[in-house]
């Protein structure tokens, strides 16, 4: 069977299962997630054996340490995945909720009801925990999901997908509501991208190259973000000790993730006092600064002159671009030119300036006096997230349960006819 035919059969099966998932009751969906949490614990030995195959192959191929870290399913990662299952199971079921109602002059009651999207196709790289995190959200929201993980995590993803189907069946739901692409053939992705008859939305999660290739090929809507170029603007009256801690958290906690800090913008009045503090704290941790002329002399031996390419660049490493700006207008202009609509934060003691930044900075999350690292579904109270969207249609920001549903109009009448 050709790859095209194989993918079509898989997507058709998911489409059939999506009709059953759309009408599934919340108790059955929650049971499936609870069963899955137990399986992640009871089958941890099998998961570890399959994950070890992927780790061994990745090490033999020379995969770097950061990617190996994302690939490894440690007991801590498995425990986190199981907790996510229980957390999502405990959340209210969004499907069928009528969120707003109003009455027309003729007495007709009109409202909007939450409904599943249908079949969600996830294309993702490296991190096998995404297999569970994305699937449990899709299932709770009444969707079926097609999963296409990276070849480097193939064995890990296969065993996790089998546990997902097993949990669904134990709860009386269709195992076909989760389908993992059973091949590492790269032709599977463009084949899936043409199956808009069966797949309702595509969600790519990984590097910019992967995401752009899916966007270019897909004939169905795509929810995505290309990159996370996150800025922190330190205003003239910011608490500088606090600012050092927030910048350190944004850059150094996990530099290889999309909500890590990539560019520090500093008001010219704060720069003389603040930048030597940053040089000591972050430079001492091995951060290399790509500095504008005004900041270069203040940042010490780990700084070098920034090039134009450093602005708007996602380093995903211990590298931080630094620019001194005249005022908030200059900071907002820089963000508009080089930001990626992901995350922007301001540190300031002035409420009016904070609220202006909140209104004018265009990003899926804008923060005041906090780290960029909070743009995450779990940190924002959504439970597990399926990804972060910088598209304003249909979702903007971390995508949790509600973002995996849509709204349809419903009308309640007593015999009204249109005049």
pLDDT of residue 125: 84
Strand 397-398 to strand 388-389: parallel, antiparallel, or no bridges (unpaired)? antiparallel
Q: What are 10-20's pLDDT values in tens digits? A: 999 999 999 99
Position 347 confidence tier, pLDDT thresholds 50, 70, 90: very high
Of the residues 224, 239, 270, which one is the last residue of a structural domain?
224
- Whether 383 has a pLDDT exceeding 80, the answer reads no
Same domain, 206 and 245: no
Give the total number of structural domains in the chain. Answer: 2
Joined together, the tokens standing for residue 276 give 């030597």
Residue 368 inside a domain? The answer is: yes
pLDDT of residue 127: 85
Domain carrying residue 307: 230-374
Same domain, 312 and 339: yes
- Whether 382 has a pLDDT exceeding 90, the answer reads no
Joined together, the tokens standing for residue 170 give 């134990």
- C-beta of residue 242 within 8 angstroms of C-beta of residue 277: no
Cα-based angle 405, 408, 410 (whole degrees, multiple of 5): 140
User: Which pTM does this prediction carry?
Assistant: 0.88
Half-sphere exposure of 16 (CA within 13 A, CB side): 10
Residue 100 inside a domain? The answer is: yes
Q: What are 105-119's pLDDT values in tens digits? A: 999 999 999 999 999
User: What residues have CB less than 8 Å from 152, skipping those under 6 apart?
Assistant: 54, 57, 58, 61, 63, 67, 71, 125, 126
Same domain, 208 and 354: no
User: What residues have CB less than 8 Å from 159, skipping those under 6 apart?
Assistant: 43, 46, 47, 50
Average pLDDT over residues 333-345: 98
Residue 75 inside a domain? The answer is: yes
Residue 139 inside a domain? The answer is: yes
Counted residue by residue, the chain has a size of 419
Position 156 confidence tier, pLDDT thresholds 50, 70, 90: very high
The CATH number of residue 16's host domain is 3.40.605.10
Structure letter (DSSP) for residue 128: T
Joined together, the tokens standing for residue 222 give 């795509």
pLDDT of residue 1: 81
- Whether 329 has a pLDDT exceeding 90, the answer reads yes
Please tell me the distance from the alpha carbon of residue 201 to that of residue 318, in angstroms, as a whole number. Answer: 35
The CATH number of residue 295's host domain is 3.40.309.10
User: What residues have CB less than 8 Å from 205, skipping those under 6 apart?
Assistant: 122, 123, 124, 125, 130, 134, 211, 386, 387
Please tell me the distance from the alpha carbon of residue 255 to that of residue 261, in angstroms, as a whole number. Answer: 8
Position 386 confidence tier, pLDDT thresholds 50, 70, 90: confident
- Whether 321 has a pLDDT exceeding 90, the answer reads yes
Position 75 confidence tier, pLDDT thresholds 50, 70, 90: very high
Cα-based angle 361, 253, 354 (whole degrees, multiple of 5): 25
pLDDT of residue 12: 98
Please tell me the distance from the alpha carbon of residue 315 to that of residue 53, in angstroms, as a whole number. Answer: 30
- Residue-wise DSSP of 135-151: HHHHHHTT-EEEEE--G
Rg (CA), the chain: 24
Residue 88 inside a domain? The answer is: yes
Of the residues 206, 224, 242, which one is the last residue of a structural domain?
224
Residue 14 Cα distances to 232, 242, 314, angstroms? 42, 49, 35
pLDDT of residue 381: 84
Q: What are 166-212's pLDDT values in tens digits? A: 999 999 999 999 999 999 999 999 999 999 999 999 999 888 899 99
The mean of the pLDDT values for the chain is: 95
pLDDT of residue 367: 98
User: What residues have CB less than 8 Å from 382, skipping those under 6 apart?
Assistant: 398, 399, 400, 401
Q: With pLDDT > 90 as the criterion, what percentage of the chain qualifies? A: 90
Average pLDDT over residues 147-174: 97
- C-beta of residue 135 within 8 angstroms of C-beta of residue 147: yes
Average pLDDT over residues 214-235: 95
Same domain, 10 and 95: yes
Joined together, the tokens standing for residue 370 give 């906090």
Of the residues 205, 224, 243, which one is the last residue of a structural domain?
224
Position 31 confidence tier, pLDDT thresholds 50, 70, 90: very high
Same domain, 186 and 90: yes
- Whether 66 has a pLDDT exceeding 90, the answer reads no
Residue 290 parent element (H or E): strand 288-291
Same domain, 195 and 260: no
Structure letter (DSSP) for residue 222: B
Residue 59 Cα distances to 55, 78, 97, 124, 257, angstroms? 6, 21, 48, 20, 21
Residue 397 inside a domain? The answer is: no
Residue found by looking up tokens 């999660």 in the block: 205
Position 268 confidence tier, pLDDT thresholds 50, 70, 90: very high
Same domain, 116 and 82: yes
Residue 405 inside a domain? The answer is: no
- Whether 384 has a pLDDT exceeding 90, the answer reads no
Position 71 confidence tier, pLDDT thresholds 50, 70, 90: very high
Residue 177 inside a domain? The answer is: yes
């Amino acid at each position: 069977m050709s790859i095209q035919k194989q993918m079509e059969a898989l997507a058709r099966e998911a489409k059939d299962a999506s009709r059953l998932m759309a009408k599934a009751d919340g108790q059955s969906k929650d049971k499936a997630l609870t069963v899955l949490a137990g399986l992640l614990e009871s089958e941890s030995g099998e998961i570890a054996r399959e994950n070890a195959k992927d780790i061994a192959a990745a090490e033999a191929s020379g995969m770097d340490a950061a990617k190996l870290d994302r690939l490894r399913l440690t007991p801590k990662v498995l425990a986190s995945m199981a907790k996510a299952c229980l957390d999502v199971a405990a959340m209210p079921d969004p499907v069928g909720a009528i969120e707003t109602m109003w009455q027309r002059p003729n007495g007709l009651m009109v409202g909007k009801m939450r409904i599943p999207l249908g079949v969600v196709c996830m294309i993702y790289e490296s991190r096998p925990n995404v297999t569970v995190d994305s699937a449990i959200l899709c299932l709770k929201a009444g969707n079926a999901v097609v999963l296409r993980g990276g070849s480097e995590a193939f064995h890990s993803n296969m065993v996790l997908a089998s546990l997902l189907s097993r949990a669904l069946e134990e709860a009386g739901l269709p195992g076909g509501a989760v389908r993992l692409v059973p091949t590492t053939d790269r032709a599977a992705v463009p084949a899936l991208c043409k199956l808009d008859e069966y797949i309702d939305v595509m969600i790519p999660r990984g590097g910019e190259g992967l995401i752009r290739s899916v966007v270019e090929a897909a004939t169905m809507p795509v929810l995505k973000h290309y990159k996370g170029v996150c800025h922190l603007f330190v205003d003239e009256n910011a608490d500088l000790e606090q600012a050092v801690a927030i910048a350190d958290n944004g850059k150094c906690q996990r530099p290889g993730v999309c909500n890590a800090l990539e560019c520090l913008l500093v008001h010219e009045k704060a720069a003389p006092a603040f930048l030597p503090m940053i040089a000591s704290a972050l430079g001492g941790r091995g951060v290399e600064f790509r500095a504008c002329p005004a900041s270069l002399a203040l940042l010490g031996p780990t700084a070098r002159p920034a090039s134009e390419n450093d602005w708007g660049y996602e380093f995903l490493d211990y590298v931080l671009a630094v620019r001194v700006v005249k005022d908030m207008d200059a900071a907002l202009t820089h963000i508009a030119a080089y930001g990626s609509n992901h995350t922007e934060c301001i540190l300031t003691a002035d409420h009016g300036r904070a609220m202006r930044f909140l209104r004018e900075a265009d990003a899926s999350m804008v923060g005041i006096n906090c780290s960029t690292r909070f743009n995450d579904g779990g940190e924002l109270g959504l439970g597990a997230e399926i990804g972060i969207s910088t598209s304003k249609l249909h979702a903007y920001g971390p995508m949790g349960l509600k973002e995996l549903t849509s709204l349809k109009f419903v009308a309640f009448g007593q015999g009204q006819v249109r005049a």
